[in-house]
Amino acid sequence: MRRTIDLPFADFPGYRLKLAAGKATNGLSKLLSEFDLRVSEAMILLFIEANPACLQSEIGRALNIANPNLTPILSRLETSELVFRQPIDGRSNGLHLSRNGAPLVKKMHAQMQAYENQILEQLPPHLRDPFNEALEILAS
Amino acid sequence: MRRTIDLPFADFPGYRLKLAAGKATNGLSKLLSEFDLRVSEAMILLFIEANPACLQSEIGRALNIANPNLTPILSRLETSELVFRQPIDGRSNGLHLSRNGAPLVKKMHAQMQAYENQILEQLPPHLRDPFNEALEILAS
DNA sequence: TATTGTTATACTCTATAACTATA
DNA sequence: TATAGTTATAGAGTATAACAATA
Q: Please, which pLDDT band fits residue B5 given cuts at 50, 70 and 90? A: very high
Is the model's pLDDT at B84 over the cut of 60?
A: yes
Put simply, whether A19 touches B (Cβ < 8 Å) is: yes
pLDDT at A2: 59
- Between the two ends of chain A, the Cα-to-Cα distance in Å is 46
**C-beta atoms surrounding A44 within 10 Å:** 26
- 3-class state of residue B93 by DSSP: strand
Q: pLDDT of B87-137, one tens digit each?
A: 999 899 999 999 999 999 999 999 999 999 999 999 999 999 999 999 999
Q: Please, which pLDDT band fits residue B3 given cuts at 50, 70 and 90? A: confident
Task: Dump the DSSP string for A49-84.
Answer: HHSTTB-HHHHHHHHT--HHHHHHHHHHHHHTTSEE
Is the model's pLDDT at B2 over the cut of 80?
A: no
Strand extents, DSSP E, chain A: 83-87, 93-97
Rg (CA), chain A: 19
- CB-nearest partner of A6 from B23, B24, B50: B50
- Residue whose C-alpha is closest to residue B131's, from A20, A127, A97: A127
Is the model's pLDDT at A1 over the cut of 60?
A: no
Is the model's pLDDT at A16 over the cut of 60?
A: yes
The count of CB pairs under 8 A between chains A and B is 153
Q: Which residues contact A36 (CB under 8 A, 6 or more apart)?
A: A80
Rg (CA), chain B: 19
Q: pLDDT of B29-48, one tens digit each?
A: 999 999 999 999 999 999 99
Put simply, whether A1 touches B (Cβ < 8 Å) is: no
Distance from CA of B17 to the nearest CA of A (A): 5
Is the model's pLDDT at B140 over the cut of 90?
A: no
Instruction: Give the residues across from A93 on adjacent strands.
Output: A87
- Residue whose C-alpha is closest to residue B36's, from B95, B76, B68: B76
pLDDT at A34: 93
Mean predicted confidence (pLDDT) in B59-74: 96
Q: pLDDT of A76-120, one tens digit each?
A: 999 999 999 999 998 999 999 999 999 999 999 999 999 999 999
pLDDT at B81: 95
Is the model's pLDDT at A39 over the cut of 80?
A: yes
Q: Which residues contact A27 (CB under 8 A, 6 or more apart)?
A: A115, A119, B14
pLDDT at B48: 97
Put simply, whether A123 touches B (Cβ < 8 Å) is: yes
- 3-class state of residue A93 by DSSP: strand
pLDDT at A120: 96
pLDDT at A7: 94
CA distances from B34 to A51, A83, A115, B119 (A): 42, 44, 40, 19
